[in-house]
Amino acid sequence: MTGAPARLLAGFAVLATLLTACTPVADLNETAAGPSAAGSTVLPTGTPPQAPSATAVPPPSVTAVPPAPAPPAPAPPPEAFALNLYQEGDFVPQYTFDWCVAASIQMAHNLTDGTRGASWAGAAQQGELWEMARARSSNAFNGANPRGWAQVLTEVGMGPYTVVSIANYEDTLQTAARAIAETGRPVGLVMWSGRHAWVMSGFESVGDPARFPEFHVTGVHVLDPLYPHGSGQWGPSPEPNSLLTPEQLATQFVVREPRRWSTDLPTGYLLVLPVAAA
């Protein structure tokens, strides 16, 4: 063999040696078993693959919303109401033209007396009651005034009573009606601008005073001890237990004249009013 071919063969031998050195040596065991355990999950024989478990998420909490409250029922409208203490025989006439307060005290007793026998009706007793009321009064006419009237009612066991003056007519009727409903006792009306006495024994209204703070008085039951005489200036006396409209009553029940008697009460409609015992 010549020198050139010999050198060529030697070069091929060196190249083959270099290629053999750059080829990775495969592990026969790895080749037979497949990929390395570091890069795969080895499952036990016969165990099916399982999907990755997911973290349980609790259901969202639900807050119960209470139902809206039902609207309140509308208040019932006021209805007709009536109250009257009067029974037959309760009326007592005044035996003189001066004794209207005393006769009114007798009638107040009869209206509240449980026996309902008009037990206070005599002329002698009426005179005594007038003297009691006059002794507890003080005015320029030397008679019995509303304060003496209220004081005697209280002292003889029908009280307590007080005297009030109210400027507004409708408020006056409401005050009187409410007092009768609350106490079961009559109201004294100071009539004729302070010159005469009547008794209010009952009333009619739209609305029960016990249920409605504002109610409308439509009628007033009255007893005038001067019946059947009346007055030429103020008009005739109504029959006992007459039911007068507020307009009819207003012809004789008027604001007290300030000069009639000395008092610290303001000018207004005067009531001898029953009040609840303390």
Give the pLDDT score at 189. Answer: 98
Q: What is the pLDDT of residues 209-218, one digit of tens each?
A: 999 999 999 9
Domain spanning 80-274, CATH architecture: Alpha-Beta Complex (3.90)
Inter-residue contact 247 to 133 (CB < 8 Å): no
Inter-residue contact 260 to 144 (CB < 8 Å): no
Residue 259 has pLDDT above 80, yes or no: no
C-alpha to C-alpha distances, 229 to 87, 92, 94, nearest whole angstrom: 22, 14, 11
Give the pLDDT score at 95. Answer: 98
Q: Give the residue extent of every domain in the chain.
A: 80-274
> Inter-axis angle of helices 123-135 and 146-153, to 10 degrees?
120
Give the pLDDT score at 69. Answer: 83
Other CB atoms within 10 A of residue 209 CB: 21
Tell me the pLDDT band of 70, cut-offs 50, 70 and 90.
confident
Q: What is the pLDDT of residues 129-141, one digit of tens each?
A: 999 999 999 765 6
Tell me the pLDDT band of 42, cut-offs 50, 70 and 90.
very low
Inter-residue contact 269 to 171 (CB < 8 Å): no
Average pLDDT over residues 230-255: 97
Residues 97, 138: Cα–Cα separation, whole Å:
19
